[in-house]
Amino acid sequence: MDFVNVHTHQAAVEPNVLGIVNQYPQSLDVTVPFFSVGIHPWYIEPARIEADLRIISDTVALEHCLALGECGLDKRTAVPLELQVSVFEQQLALAEKYQKPMIIHCVAAFQELIELKIKNKSTVPMVVHGFSKNEQVAAQLLKNGFYLSFGKYLLQNPELERVFCTIPNDRFFLETDTVAETIQEVYAVAAQYKKIELKELQKIIAYNFNTVFKDGRMD
């Protein structure tokens, strides 16, 4: 496979793309070739938390479930932050138990995210998806061991080029999330910004994928 799409909501199979399809516990389809599963902070239902966590626990150990998520914190949703933190910490525990990386959704709560990682002594890799913030936020996340994934905002916001170019090559991923553009288009923009050839970028992402997901498919 030539391309890694670390976070997508599209289950379409492309022969040269390894796409990690985001799934939710209540609509899980384990026949998807590669996926992640988690409780998104927008969709926390108190009456369903226990059942959702049980589904995640039963699923995340599967070989083709590559990560737990997306999950995280979002201060701009109506779900109380205290409840979001509780659900996130329970998912942190599952990720540690099964030693699976995490795909992180974070909006206006980066300091809290960092503090929870430290508090819970989390050792699994965490990929903050859809990164769109400034160099200071990026530096703080990198300092605390996070990986950053770029996609929609890299295509839509030219000012993000400066931030993206400061990210070390061994600490980033690319994604499409929900946009109509292809992962190939995201790679093209990323290669342009990094001023490298597409093949070199493919090698970088393949190395990062094999490192984080402990997977040899991109060798």
Residue type, 206: A
177 assigned ligand-binding residue: yes
pTM of the entire predicted model: 0.96
- Residue indicated by tokens 């996070």: 146
159 assigned ligand-binding residue: no
What domains does the chain contain, in order, with CATH numbers?
3-213 (3.20.20.140)
2 assigned ligand-binding residue: no
The Cα–Cα gap between 54 and 201 comes to 38
Question: For residue range 115-169, what is the model confidence (pLDDT) as tens digits?
Answer: 999 999 999 999 999 999 999 999 999 999 999 999 999 999 999 999 999 999 9
Task: Show the beta-strand stretches assigned E in 24-157.
Answer: 35-37, 65-74, 102-107, 126-128, 147-150
105 assigned ligand-binding residue: yes
The rounded Cα 212 to chain-centroid distance in angstroms is 11
